[in-house]
Amino acid sequence: GTVKILDFGIVKWLEQEEQTQTLILTPRYSAPEQILAEPITTATDIFTLGLLLVECITECHPFDDVHSVFELQKAIVSRELTAPSKRLAKFPVDPISGKAVRGDLDAICLKAVQIEPKKRYQSALQMAMDLQNWVLGLPVSARPVGKMGRSLKWVRRNPSMSAVLCLLFGSWLFATLYILKSNQQIAAERQVAILERDRAATIASFLENLFEQNSPEATLGKNPSALDLLENGKRLIGTSLDPESEERTQLLHSLCKVYFKLGQDQEALGLSDQALPKLKGEVLAEHYLLRSEIFLNLGRYPESQKNSQAGLELAQEFRNVNLQALCYNLLGECYSKQGQHEQAGHLFAKASPFLDQIPAASRLAIISNQAIHAANIKNYALCLESSLQVLGLKKELFPEDHPQIGLSHIQLGNAYRWVQDPESSKQHFEIGLSILNKVYPKGHGELASAENDYAGLLRSIGQYPEARQHYEIAMKWLAEYYGEDHPHTIMAKSNLGVFLLSGFEDFDGAIALFEWSFQHAQKVLPPEHQFLGEIRNNLAIAYERRGDLRSAQIHFEGCVAHYRAISGETPHPNLSAALCELGNFYSRTQKVEAALAVTREALTLRQKYGFGDAEMIYAYQCLGQALLLAQKYPEALDCLTESASLLSNHAALKWEAANQGRLTAEYEAGLKNWDRVQEILQVSLPDMEKFIGSKHPNTLKARALLASARAHLALKDN
């Protein structure tokens, strides 16, 4: 059999999702006097040990039926615990039987968790003596027995002599059969007792050592931090437990989870490597899932994918629907982070049928990832809908100032930004950051990512100094938290480069950041990752803006080549965007035929594969620009008419509207309608300067065209 220690005291000190109190205590393992602010004594520790003992026996917390901190505290101070044997009768735990627990062990547990401190054991030694007596089959102080009870215990301690006495009262045949049957039963019970004794002694010794080393006497009054406790626990596992014991393996598994929750990914991975070879059954499937999450955080996507797949196969073997759903979800997230959104969508879809059968926390994880996936495929309306659903579910489970609520507000801030609602976006970002800053230490990965996203909003609404400050904070924190070569850090530096390019027109600074990001991304990301294409596109734009057209062309064409190379049976979603950018570059550099070829291909792809209105508007505009350059005005007018029709339904697309004005002005200029050119550009030029920069080639071209129109009109007036 296996003992499953899903969590122990250390873990609960650190479980952020379950702690929102200001009291310096652990709600799940608090004694009534702690909650009632009464004097703390040794009996307080006895209560906590009693809860841990019940949890070790039944594999569940005694108060796992309550769902809020208030209800938990109310139950602790007012509700008598159910005997462990009764819990085992309803929910059996292999190989522990209710019969083996009923009686003395029930009494030990219930005495340790009495509501009144004076009714508990008054020292750890008393409790340890009772546990030792129970293991040896001796009477325990928690359950005084009469003569009959003592006689029965004597019989259990002397099975052979009891068998002899039985022979005196029965026939030889029946006595012989009885002895055979008794011997089998005794052997089985003895084996169970030995296992229970050894496990109880091992865990009790581990906890006792841990508590002693972190007692006020041992720490000279200093309160150890969470990481201090973890480090002490890890050291004790290595020095005080048998390397081959199941107890050590289970504790390693639990410590691994805690380190991961604290963002200590490398430490968690080291513990996982020790635990993995000795884990079995569903716990092994759970651990594969944990390893997959660790590798995902470290940016090691192939290893994350491999562990998720291994966990999925075990979950299917054991028919564990919760683990199956989480494995599909994690596989989808893994593919999504590699830019393989089609495969990610299929995997998220496989997780969806399980949503009604799994716990709320698992549902939240899956719906949240589906919202992110919707954003990746530019279905921003669905992303917003899913993000609102996630926040609603979390508010049912967590208090308003819980970090999970804060993270949902950050996700909603992004969703509103993508649907062009900056006011709502800023409101949610500010709420989310306010919550996260209270919970997480400065430099935490979640807080750094939130700062980076908020900087993106500030940049989009023109608050450049504030945006730069938040970008630089995020980049510094991410580098400290994840390291220079982590994908989060690389992408944050790229984001800062985009900001320097568009916000300050600092082309040299942007190029330096893009080149750094490109070199590091090539080292740590798989060759098919879409970020490698995105960074090449950013490099191309920066080089063109600096006037290095040769380098710009190399990167624009390299970006298209990248997306062609990673396209499968259907083209990569970003291929058409890369073709549009290359076509625009060819148009700006007077490569007419090349511009026509790639922009026609881009529009054809978007028409065939059902892109959204924003993508279709830009494709029509790109082809329209190439047709204007080729002086094919009727075809150009058709394209501009299509884009104008789509734009009429999307007032929020300010950049596209400004670009539409520029192209319409160029069309009118081709027809020598200088009055219309001046009228259009007087409206569109300020928006172009705002949204793409005053030094952008298209802005410069529009400004020159406006000057030309004014010159023609002046000549006409003269």
Q: Are the C-beta atoms of residues 192 and 95 closer than 8 Å to each other?
A: yes
pLDDT confidence of 193, banded at 50, 70, 90? low
397-416 tens-digit pLDDT: 889 999 999 999 999 999 99
Mean pLDDT score across all residues of the chain: 83
Per DSSP, the residues of 318-385 read HT-HHHHHHHHHHHHHHHHHTT-HHHHHHHHHHHGGGGGGS-HHHHHHHHHHHHHHHHHTT-HHHHHH
Contacts of 172 (CB under 8 A, 6+ apart): none
pLDDT reading at 474 higher than 80: yes
**Integer Cα distance of 546 and 560 in angstroms:** 21
Q: What is the pLDDT of residue 266?
A: 81
98-150 tens-digit pLDDT: 788 888 888 999 999 999 999 999 988 888 888 888 888 888 888 775 545 55
Residue 23, SS3? coil
pLDDT reading at 331 higher than 90: yes
How remote is the C-alpha of 245 from its chain's centroid? 32
Contacts of 391 (CB under 8 A, 6+ apart): 405, 408, 409, 411, 412
Q: 3-class secondary structure for 643-703?
A: HHHHHCCCCCCHHHHHHHHHHHHHHHHHCCCHHHHHHHHHHHHHHHHHHCCCCCHHHHHHH
pLDDT reading at 13 higher than 50: no
Distances (CA, A) of 678 to 6, 621, 658: 72, 20, 14
pLDDT reading at 536 higher than 90: yes
Q: Are the C-beta atoms of residues 411 and 394 closer than 8 Å to each other?
A: no
**When comparing pLDDT for 610 and 59, which is higher?**
59
Nearest C-alpha neighbor of 210 from the set 222, 219, 197? 219
Nearest C-alpha neighbor of 403 from the set 366, 376, 441? 441
Q: 3-class secondary structure for 317-337?
A: HHCCHHHHHHHHHHHHHHHHH
Helix (H) or strand (E) run with residue 43 in it: helix 42-58
Residue 321, phi then psi, degrees to nearest 5: -70, -35
pLDDT reading at 548 higher than 90: yes
pLDDT reading at 218 higher than 50: no
**When comparing pLDDT for 26 and 323, which is higher?**
323
pLDDT confidence of 159, banded at 50, 70, 90? low
Q: Any idea of the CA torsion for 509, 515, 492, 373, to the nearest 10 degrees?
A: 130
Average pLDDT of span 59-87: 86
Q: What is the pLDDT of residue 167?
A: 58
Highest mean pLDDT among 30-34, 163-167, 660-664: 660-664
Percent of the chain with pLDDT over 70: 83
Sign of CA dihedral 68, 69, 74, 77: positive
Contacts of 380 (CB under 8 A, 6+ apart): 374, 415, 418, 419
Q: Are the C-beta atoms of residues 318 and 282 closer than 8 Å to each other?
A: yes
**Integer Cα distance of 71 and 551 in angstroms:** 65
Average pLDDT of span 8-28: 48
**Integer Cα distance of 488 and 385 in angstroms:** 26
Domain map of the chain by residue range? 1-162+188-213, 526-650, 655-718
pLDDT reading at 221 higher than 50: no
CATH class of 526-650: mainly alpha
Claim: this prediction has a pTM higher than 0.75: no
Half-sphere exposure of residue 490, counting CA atoms within 13 Å on the CB side?
A: 20
1-162+188-213 — its CATH code? 1.10.510.10
Q: Which of 58-67, 346-355, 630-639, 704-713 has the lowest mean pLDDT?
A: 58-67
pLDDT confidence of 74, banded at 50, 70, 90? confident
Q: What is the pLDDT of residue 520?
A: 92
**Integer Cα distance of 312 and 288 in angstroms:** 9
pLDDT reading at 488 higher than 50: yes
**When comparing pLDDT for 391 and 696, which is higher?**
391
Q: 3-class secondary structure for 120-163?
A: CCCCHHHHHHHHHHHHHCCCCCCCCCCHHHHHHHHHHHCHHHHH
Preceding peptide of 277 cis, ω within 30°: no
Helix axes 575-588, 592-608, angle to 10 degrees: 160
Q: Which two tokens mark 6?
A: 């899903």
268-278 tens-digit pLDDT: 899 999 999 99
634-676 tens-digit pLDDT: 999 999 999 999 999 887 688 889 999 999 999 999 999 999 9
Distances (CA, A) of 447 to 372, 439, 443, 473, 569: 18, 9, 7, 10, 39
The amino acid that residue 620 corresponds to is Y
Report DSSP state, residue 225: P
